[in-house]
Amino acid sequence: MRVRTPANSSLYAATGWLLSALFAARVLGQALQRWLPQPFLPPAEAFQGSALPYGVLLLAQLAILTAMLYLSLRMQTGALLPSRRLGVGLAWVGAIYMALSVGRLAVGLAVPNADAWFRTWIPALFHLVLAGFVLTVSLYHLRRRGDI
């Protein structure tokens, strides 16, 4: 079922596409450094923020990117049906995720001897991108219902 989208829904879709493109650039940069290193990119280790084997991480990243692209398209076409309940739930999840991501960066900046996980800037920044995407979808749902 297609829903008519007001003009301002394009802002949410555009934000979704932008955040998806940023995440795709991270996935591509990491893959390039893994298999075909480029001198203009940071070393492969700079992209790795966890102990996950790269194959598992890549599959997870591709699944996340697929979901981001799917949701961006649905926001753009108006096929993403608004749900206040989902919007509120995503707002909470997104806010907590954003707070934890900002906290991770703050610890990495403020504590000189912090664990390496706090000091891996590329993954930490892209958690902000993902949290921003969750918040964007939340706002799309809530905006559509007239709640914000």
DSSP 22-63: HHHHHHHHHHHHHHS--TTS--HHHH--SSS-HHHHHHHHHH
The mean pLDDT of 84-112, rounded to a whole number, is 97
Q: What is the pLDDT of residue 140?
A: 96
Q: What is the pLDDT of residue 144?
A: 52
pTM over 0.85: yes
Q: What is the pLDDT of residue 145?
A: 46
Mean per-residue pLDDT of the chain:
91
The mean pLDDT of 1-17, rounded to a whole number, is 74
